[in-house]
Structure 1
């Protein structure tokens, strides 16, 4: 698991952990994405990447971002060459999310870097980064918890809930996601 956890303290439960400047940046990005990107056709990927870059997303090479993908805080996102963010995939990037080269985040997958300290009266926000290794695949509607590292070439099955790191070249599925033995992987592939 990623060890860099950040505790954002709030005085009381309803307080925002974000500065006014950060909240304005989030609001400005939401409107920019809605008016400048959501309606664009798939071939307008370069335009969407430009908008993301303008809001601080670190982009290497040429990843693909679907027009209906969702980003909470784009300046916390790193997209490497040929990474793919699918239709309605949600990068809830309260903390850093890094998507490796050639990795795919399938439609409606949800990568969540935030949780709450439920043992504290303030229930303050806790963030931890998510890293998806190169050539990894996160299936449709999978949910990835804060602090998880998905290794290079790993596969996360559709609708899985990933609560722990996934080793490189491993296939996991279920809730909570568990490794699938090699013989079952071959049987399902045919």
Structure 2
């Protein structure tokens, strides 16, 4: 067993490379996130969005941002018009997350763009996430970096999207995620 290596984590590169901002701004964001974003009180969605925009998030009009959410780096968050961000959604976005318009991210969905070079030195590796218009990511789904969820696709609860492409208009689910059905009858596909 002693011939199996162990990575010395004290020598692992830190995550600060993903910050893209001075440390003081990241720490100030952490305080504002705790007070205005992660806070479980039913404070105004508009106030939450205002604070996120003040730190560089691009959020379209009509977006609903529920309580208990988390956003790692708001300047790497892009959300289109009229999208709904459910309670407890966590954007662990060390890379960019692009959410289209009219998207629903349901309760406790977890989107993470980061991983580690686990065979080398545990250095941070990031890949963006793209969620197209009209998608519904249901409760407690996990979406990993490199994933692309196509227009009006639907992910069933507790699914894992592991950096793959989910085609437009389809329902996928499970772990590993697999095709379940078409979301709309062919004559009812929104245009």
TM-score, with structure 2 as normaliser: 0.83
Q: How does 1:25-40 map to 2 (within 5 A)?
A: 25-37=25-37, 38-40=39-41
1:89 aligns with 2:89: yes
The answer for the alignment partner of 1:16 in structure 2 is 14
Query: For residues 166-181 of structure 1, what are the structure 2 equivalents within 5 Å?
Result: 166-181=166-181
Query: What does residue 42 of structure 2 align with?
Result: 41
Normalising to structure 1: TM-score of the pair? Answer: 0.83
Number of residue pairs matched by the alignment: 173
Deviation string 1:86-105 (CA, Å, 9 cap, x unpaired) is 10011111000011100011
CA contact (8 A) 1:26 1:72 kept: no
Structure 1: give runs of 5+ residues left out of the alignment: 1-9
In structure 2, the residue matched to 1:6 is none
Q: Which has the higher contact order (CA 8 A, sep 6+)?
A: 1
Once residues 29 and 64 of structure 2 are traced to their aligned partners in structure 1, the CA distance between those partners, rounded to angstroms, is: 19
Q: Corresponding residue for 1:162?
A: 161
Q: Name 2:3's counterpart in structure 1.
A: none
What SS does the corresponding residue of 2:115 show, helix, strand or coil? strand
Matched, 1:78 2:108: no
Q: How does 1:50-65 map to 2 (within 5 A)?
A: 50-65=50-65
Cα displacement (A) at 1:124: 0.6
2: CA distance, partners of 1:23 / 1:171: 41
1:97-155 alpha-carbon deviations (Å, 9 max, x no partner) = 011100011100101100111121x2111100001111100011100111100011000
Larger CA Rg, structure 1 vs 2:
2
Q: Which runs of 5+ in 2 are unaligned?
A: 1-8, 186-191
Query: RMSD between aligned alpha carbons?
Result: 2.3
Q: In the alignment, is the contact (CA less than 8 A) between 2:170 and 2:181 conserved in 1?
A: no
1:130 maps to what in 2? 129
How many Å apart are 1:12 and its aligned residue?
Answer: 2.6
Tell whether the 8 Å contact from 1:104 to 1:138 is kept in structure 2 after alignment: yes
Aligned to 1:110: 110
C-alpha separation in 1, matches of 2:174 and 2:40: 34
Query: Which whole-Å CA distance do the structure 2 matches of 1:141 and 1:51 have between them?
Result: 25
